[in-house]
Amino acid sequence: METEQHLAGISARAERLLAGLPAGVELVAAAKGRAAPEVAAAIRGGITRVGHNYVQEARAMQAALQPSPTWHMIGHLQRNKARQAVRLFDVVETVDSWRLAQELDARCRAVERVLPVLIEVNSAGEAGKAGVPPEEVAALARRVAELDHLRLDGLMTMGPAGAGPEELRPFFRATRELGERVREALGGRAGAGVLSMGMSDSYVVAVEEGATAVRIGTLLFGPRPGA
Q: What is the pLDDT of residue 200?
A: 97
> For a pLDDT cut of 70, what percent of the chain falls above it?
96
Domain boundaries along the sequence of the chain: 4-221
pLDDT, tens only, 46-64: 999 999 999 999 999 999 9
Tell me which H or E stretch contains 72. Answer: strand 70-73
In this prediction, residue 189 has a pLDDT band, given cuts at 50, 70 and 90, of low
Length of the chain: 227
For the entire predicted model, the pTM comes to 0.95
> Could you give the angle at the alpha carbon of 23 between the alpha carbons of 206 and 12, nearest 5°?
85
Looking at 2.60.200.20, 3.20.20.10, 3.40.50.12280, 3.30.930.10, the CATH number of the domain 4-221 comes to: 3.20.20.10
Q: What is the pLDDT of residue 186?
A: 87
The string of DSSP codes covering 164-226 is -HHHHHHHHHHHHHHHHHHHHHTTS-GGG-EEEE--TTTHHHHHHTT-SEEEESHHHH-SPTT
Q: What is the pLDDT of residue 227?
A: 55
123, 134 Cβ separation under 8 angstroms: yes
User: Parallel, antiparallel, or unpaired for β 213-216 and 91-95?
Assistant: unpaired
pLDDT, tens only, 101-134: 999 999 999 999 999 999 999 999 888 889 999 9
> Could you give the angle at the alpha carbon of 58 between the alpha carbons of 20 and 18, nearest 5°?
5
Which residues pair with residue 114 across a beta bridge?
none
Name the more confident of 75 and 189: 75
In this prediction, residue 187 has a pLDDT band, given cuts at 50, 70 and 90, of confident
Specify whether the backbone of 128 is left (phi greater than 0), alpha (psi in -120 to 50) or beta: left
Residues 6 or more apart in contact with residue 46 via CB below 8 angstroms: 14, 15, 18
Q: What are the φ/ψ torsions at residue 140 (nearest 5 degrees)?
A: -65, -40
The Cα 227–Cα 225 span in angstroms is 6
145, 152 Cβ separation under 8 angstroms: yes
Q: What is the pLDDT of residue 190?
A: 57
